[in-house]
Structure 1
Amino acid sequence: MNEIILVPKPLDTDAELDRLARRYKAAGGLGIQVLNTLGTRADGLLGRLPGPVRDQLDGATRAALVQALGAASKSRGVVPDQAEWLNATVSAAMGAAGGFGGLPTALAELPVTTTLLLRVIEGVAVEHGFDPAMDSVRFDCVQVFAAAGPLEHDDGADIAFLSARMALSGAAMQALVARVAPRLAVVMGQKLAAQTVPVLGAVAGAATNYAYTSYYTDMAHVHFGLRRLAVEADQPHEVMVERLRSEVLALK
């Protein structure tokens, strides 16, 4: 009796890059749609925040991110990773609660939302075969936040968040947090401002949290999908980043 030998299916790098590019391209659209539905222009959101809040936002976001790094990892031993739709639903409920009481409750919700987003990103890393307990993967999870947010749209001109990497150390992680926090502060500032919309604060909080959770889920899939593809295709990661950039720019 002849032995049947199963030959692994060849990796279609081009098809996978096209899939990741399309996911990257589509990720920003939902946030804009949400804000248009609420009748709020993205460009003017941050102007809704009081001056003192805007001034303190970077520091508050950095503190929330540092807190989230510990809380997200510790929660993995207690709460398993959830389906993407459930993550977005839970995030929306948190945003509604935060927006119900206006700016004070929205500010209190900030570190909780940041922790949830980081935990969602860690879950995507696991899905692609990476261990979030490893320092290098935790570094990548924070790096995903450098993709700004769903209100940004750059047609692939800024995919730097995929390629940045430092020598791994505690100081490097602190440097990464310091670099990422200002970009994340803009995202969270837009969210907080949306939650101050009179009457619609809870609705805006739910909608923006849903949009941001969906967006960072997509960005995490792009980030870790590309890292996995580089390993499987035995190609330098930087080369794959540039190929992805070309794919994104080629999409209409």
Structure 2
Amino acid sequence: MTHSHPLPVLFDAGLSRADLEALQAAVAALERQSFATRLAGAANRQLSFGSLTLPPRLQAVATAATQKALIAAMKMALASLDAQPAKDSIRIHRRLAALTGGMGGAVGLASLPLELPVSTTIMLRSIAEIAQAEGEDMRHPGAALACLEVFALGEPSGESNVLEGGYLALRALLAKSVTDAARFIATRRVADETAPAMARLIGAIATRFGVIVSQKAAARAVPVIGAISGAAINVAFTEHFQSLARGHFVVRRLERVYSPALVHAEYAKIARAEGYWDDPSQAA
């Protein structure tokens, strides 16, 4: 895989140099590093964290905790986020994540149903501030749901079989669910997770977020990585989604400045040039 290709060769699309550089950073954030890779870095070990799995009973616990966490996060996103100026509290959120991870680590996997909704809500606050910094209006249901969408971004396409085609393909897959949910909220002025439009979106996000949650839970359970504290795992978990959020909302900002089609074409060009996409057909 190659990196840091010069940007001038990409100027034919009409984006400014600053916006091309921002997009290149966004592509790296969204396509390059998986949560498993980040965990391996935290452990300072060459281990295949991506292959970690939970026993069926614990997997059921993780799945239920994921659904609960996303529902809680969705309600918070739509009920309490506002258009106040963004605050630079990224480090505060990481410290809170470390605290909840440390508390959960002391109890073990049994704490997941209680700890995950808390850590997910903390992450959502951080994601919302990143969104605001990139010009999102948090009074709009679509912006709030875009924050929730970050939890579906998960693993880069090159390191996961969840979805081929990377970030753009996943955005396209979720687009109708996000649009339908935003329309439902705008019409009803309420976030009801049992409504079909909301349930479909939560289910689609939970399927992908659950992969990372399972890796996180399994990491705590494997003795060989006992040197990683629950706090360190939660910090890696939070940093992973903060990085994804930065890339996601840079792309959305550029879509507002230019056009989605133009930005997506340039995104695909950068992804291929950097070696994140080996098959050009995955750009769709």
TM-score bracket for the superposition, by shorter chain length: 0.7 to 0.9
Can you give the 5+ residue segments of structure 1 that lack an aligned partner in the other structure? 1-9
When the two structures are superposed, what TM-score results if normalisation uses the length of structure 2? 0.71
Q: Distance in 2 between matches of 1:57 and 1:182?
A: 11
- Cα deviation 1:206-231 (Å, max 9, x = unaligned): 22211121111111111111111122
- Cα deviation 1:140-176 (Å, max 9, x = unaligned): 112111111489736x931133444223334433311
Partner of 2:48: 41
Q: Distance in 2 between matches of 1:114 and 1:214?
A: 12
Displacement, 1:73?
5.3
Length, aligned pairs only:
236
Task: Report percent identity of matched pairs.
Answer: 27
Displacement, 1:27?
4.1
Can you give the 5+ residue segments of structure 2 that lack an aligned partner in the other structure? 1-14, 185-195, 276-284
**Runs (4+) off by over 6 Å:** none
- The answer to whether the 8 A contact 1:99-1:203 is kept is no
Q: Distance in 2 between matches of 1:144 and 1:217?
A: 9
1:193 aligns with 2:218: yes
Q: Distance in 2 between matches of 1:60 and 1:106?
A: 7
1:222 aligns with 2:247: yes
Quickly say closer, same or farther: Cα 1:43–1:199, change in 2 above 3 A.
closer
- Cα deviation 1:28-52 (Å, max 9, x = unaligned): 3433312454x75314421xx3321
Quickly say closer, same or farther: Cα 1:107–1:201, change in 2 above 3 A.
farther
**Residue 165 of structure 1, aligned match among 175, 181, 187:** 175
Partner of 1:248: 271
Quickly say closer, same or farther: Cα 1:54–1:136, change in 2 above 3 A.
same
Q: Distance in 2 between matches of 1:151 and 1:212?
A: 18
When the two structures are superposed, what TM-score results if normalisation uses the length of structure 1? 0.79
Q: Distance in 2 between matches of 1:81 and 1:201?
A: 35
**Residue 206 of structure 1, aligned match among 231, 238, 245:** 231
Partner of 1:128: 134
**Residue 98 of structure 1, aligned match among 87, 104, 111:** 104
Displacement, 1:178?
0.8
- The answer to whether the 8 A contact 1:139-1:173 is kept is no
Quickly say closer, same or farther: Cα 1:26–1:85, change in 2 above 3 A.
farther
Residue 146 of structure 2 aligns with an amino acid whose one-letter code is D
**Residue 231 of structure 1, aligned match among 248, 252, 256:** 256
Partner of 1:71: 76
What secondary structure is seen at the aligned counterpart in 1 of 2:159?
coil
Residue 237 of structure 2 aligns with an amino acid whose one-letter code is Y
Q: Distance in 2 between matches of 1:23 and 1:85?
A: 18
What secondary structure is seen at the aligned counterpart in 2 of 1:169?
helix
Instruction: Judge which range, 81-90 or 178-187, deviates more.
Output: 81-90
